[in-house]
Structure 1
Amino acid sequence: MKTYPLGGTGVEVSAMCLGAMYFGTRNDRESSFALLDQYVEAGGSFIDTANIYAHWVEGFQGGESEMLLGEWMRERGNRSDLFLASKVGFALPGVEQGLRAWQIEAECDKSLRKLGVDIIDLYYAHVDDRSTPQEESLEAFARLHQAGKVRFIGASNFRAWRLEQAHAISAANGWPDYCCLQQRYTYLRPKHDSKFGGQVAVNEDLLDYLRTRRDDFTLLAYSPLLSGAYTRDDRPLPEQYVGADSEARLAALREVAAAHDATLNQVVLAWMLHSDPVVLPVMAASTSEQMAENLAALDLALSPDEMARLNTAKA
């Protein structure tokens, strides 16, 4: 699998990151192991989880994804071949939402134990905690880095100005800087001022900011396929994406997909990887067929004309 630089870390990661949100909950042990094996066999090594996954599934408390990954890594003996990401900040049963120093450090220790590893390669601030000074949060991440518990740090669900504020604080104190942002992003554009609960969608202001930092900061996209809404009749588009230029952009997707005998999902994923700057998708799959479909997008080459058509499609 092709790799791309992760911000200014000097490390390259898989073009497609595998989201493990429902491994150990909606996906049982057997199916989770099979999907993980399929991803690794395709050359992937970048796996994404979080301390909260997936407490909202009935009968579960959170942390199941990390524990499942730990079990899989022990059985396969492949920890050294992987680039592992986890997150802290959102609430789960018994844990309040926030990025206070003690929360970051305590949850990191819990994640290390559940994963059964000594170090997390990429540790995200999963949500922007406006009630805690960024200095406190970033200093806690710096202590984790110094202690050898975390290699790099990232942000998720942050606005552009907060990222720049964090960038300045880290530079002034000699602390590790956020190297990437994981944000809600897909080909369709949400309507202005759409709300996604605690999630934050990429907007033009953020894209403009990212272009100024293309050499030292990477954008990763979560929910790139809108839970199957591009291709499944039983999954309507989220209402935030209905209207405006959605029909024009869907038409452009269909035209490009037909020209390549590809699925809409594959075109969306390929569009991200052909974008400037490159956007790395955090893709998920619940079946081997879905995994194969997503991975096949890596072989889909979009021409400059096709990218222009996709980028400029509007009502």
Structure 2
Amino acid sequence: MKYRTIGTAPNTRREVSVLALGAMLFGSRTDEETSFAVLDRYVEAGGTFIDTSDNYAFWEDGGQGGQSEELLGRWRRSRGVGDGIVIATKLGARPLAPGTGYVDNAEGLSAKVIRESAERSRDRLGVAKLDLLYAHIEDQRVPLKETVEGFAELVAEGTVGLLGVSNHAMWRVERARALAAAAGLPGYEVLQYAHSHLRPRLDVPDGLFPDGSLGHAGPDLLGYLRAEPGLALVAYSPLLKGAYTHPDRLPADFDHPGTPARLKVLHEVARETGATVNQVVLAWQIGAELPILPLVGASSVAQLEESLAAVDLELTADQRARLDAAH
């Protein structure tokens, strides 16, 4: 396994494995036995960075979520997992009532919600401190100042370590970080957005975010990452939910002239390296100039093994240049 440091403050920064494991469906669609087996193998391979959310997976049972955090709590207790494993979670997108969703009925990012939701997450996970806590989605009903101060209070109290942000417009991320800096408060240091080798059209709604761009690491976000070297990008959906091996799963917003060109190069590099296309995508992210940590899901140990093998796949400078240039 390879590792990378996320965060900048000496008392909150953490060293984590470059490959993060997503626990979205653990405890719901992925049963407990399988979930435990995947988690055990990930840790055995040196993995130390697990990702969840307080609303996972509300859509599976029409509830409000919490199954993933609860399963991780049971796994931690049964395995005696300590501080060496970093568990990141999120808040803000938990539905307020069973049978509703986060699009029009999310809990939001008020100071009250931040405090109460973080406490519930700690209880479900069985931890005294959340290693990394994200603002999951935007809440334009609440002043950014209130959100910034709400997160900072938890850091000051020692119940949260690093702060992160996901699925926000970059101008709101920058404004929140500027407010925190001006007040001498901790701000967002980890960004979590969708990112893969194939690129979607940003002018086409993707079904989750009406403007078609908030959830994707587009040019603005990558440029911001270059300008702010203390930040890191946790890239969710790096394998596009299996679309690289099942083209019929490719979302409609990836249907544009750039996709065939990028797929062509991916397959060329896969043949040259003897790796799978999925492994090439992950290796391209892990070895990038920018600090990108792919976040992979796995519903079986076999799926996880394919992703783990990508950590040791070294692309040549020529292969990386061709992958970067394809459009």
Shorter-chain TM-score: which interval? over 0.9
Q: Would you say 1:208 and 2:223 are equivalent positions?
A: yes
Residue pairs, 1:233-244, within 5 angstroms: 235-244=248-257
**Secondary structure of the equivalent of 1:240?**
helix
Deviations 1:163-205 (A, max 9, x none): 2111211111111111110001111010131223136111111
* Aligned twin of 2:21: 18
**Secondary structure of the equivalent of 2:132?**
strand
Q: Distance between the aligned counterparts of 2:140 and 2:64, measured in 1?
A: 26
Q: Would you say 1:44 and 2:75 are equivalent positions?
A: no
Q: Which amino acid aligns with 1:155?
A: V
Residues 73 and 126, structure 2, Cα contact 8 Å, conserved in 1: yes
Q: Would you say 1:173 and 2:179 are equivalent positions?
A: no
The runs of 5 or more residues in structure 1 that have no matched partner are: none
**Secondary structure of the equivalent of 1:57?**
helix
Residues 23 and 50, structure 2, Cα contact 8 Å, conserved in 1: yes
* Aligned twin of 2:236: 222
> How large is the Cα RMSD of the aligned pairs?
1.4
Q: Distance between the aligned counterparts of 1:60 and 1:259, measured in 2?
A: 47
Q: Which amino acid aligns with 1:255?
A: E
Q: Would you say 1:154 and 2:167 are equivalent positions?
A: no
**1:53 Cα offset (Å):** 0.3
Deviations 1:199-256 (A, max 9, x none): 6111111111110012x100110011011110136x5211111222000000000000
Q: Distance between the aligned counterparts of 2:309 and 2:290, measured in 1?
A: 21
**Secondary structure of the equivalent of 1:178?**
coil
**1:159 Cα offset (Å):** 2.0
> TM-score if structure 1 supplies the norm length?
0.96
Q: Distance between the aligned counterparts of 2:202 and 2:106, measured in 1?
A: 30
**Secondary structure of the equivalent of 1:231?**
coil
**1:49 Cα offset (Å):** 0.5
Q: Would you say 1:185 and 2:195 are equivalent positions?
A: yes
**Secondary structure of the equivalent of 2:249?**
coil
> TM-score if structure 2 supplies the norm length?
0.92
Deviations 1:237-293 (A, max 9, x none): 111112220000000000000111111110110111121213100111001110000
Alpha-carbon distance change, 159 to 96 in structure 1, aligned in 2, over 3 angstroms: closer
Q: Distance between the aligned counterparts of 1:194 and 1:289, measured in 2?
A: 34
The structure 1 segments of at least 4 consecutive aligned residues displaced by more than 6 Å after TM superposition are none
Residues 241 and 249, structure 2, Cα contact 8 Å, conserved in 1: no
* Aligned twin of 2:271: 258
* Aligned twin of 1:87: 90
Residues 191 and 244, structure 1, Cα contact 8 Å, conserved in 2: no
Quote the sequence identity (%): 46
The runs of 5 or more residues in structure 2 that have no matched partner are: 98-104
* Aligned twin of 2:112: 102
Q: Distance between the aligned counterparts of 2:81 and 2:204, measured in 1?
A: 41
Q: Distance between the aligned counterparts of 1:296 and 1:66, measured in 2?
A: 27
* Aligned twin of 1:288: 301
Q: Which amino acid aligns with 1:226?
A: L
Alpha-carbon distance change, 93 to 135 in structure 1, aligned in 2, over 3 angstroms: closer
Residues 84 and 120, structure 1, Cα contact 8 Å, conserved in 2: yes
